[in-house]
Amino acid sequence: EAQVTQNPRYLITVTGKKLTVTCSQNMNHEYMSWYRQDPGLGLRQIYYSMNVEVTDKGDVPEGYKVSRKEKRNFPLILESPSPNQTSLYFCASSLDPTGGDYGYTFGSGTRLTVV
């Protein structure tokens, strides 16, 4: 089954404790991105990657890092999480940035709470 797999689904952590949210896709998509979704604000892009070893900042990159060492994986790293990073996070992939005919395929989401 074609899918984007995110882990973990839920995470509660403390301020300053480094964490990684994993994202993996099995569709051989070149384009991957991370979003955060907050009430009333819609999805905002954190980072995106056009291909292996090619990453770039989105609208809200502060406090986040990413890497794209393999085509299928695009982990999101919070080196020192803070409470304002409490949010719902989605990883997405597609053949290209427009989404093409099928749009973006999103992972199931990671609900992160930083206390």
Partner 1 sequence: RKEVEQDPGPFNVPEGATVAFNCTYSNSASQSFFWYRQDCRKEPKLLMSVYSSGNEDGRFTAQLNRASQYISLLIRDSKLSDSATYLCVVMLYNNNDMRFGAGTRLTVKP
Interface with partner 1 by CB under 8 A: which residues? 35, 40-45, 48, 50, 56, 90, 97-99, 101-104, 106-109
CB of 18 to partner 1, least distance (A): 25
Residue number with CB closer to partner 1 (13 or 37): 37
Minimum distance of partner 1 from residue 23's CB (angstroms): 12
Asked whether 113 and 13 are in contact (CB, 8 A), the reply is yes
Q: Which of 82/108 has CB closer to partner 1?
A: 108
Q: CB under 8 Å, gap of 24 or more: what pairs does 61-69 form?
A: 64/34, 66/34, 68/32
Per DSSP bridges, beta strands 110-114 and 10-13 are: parallel
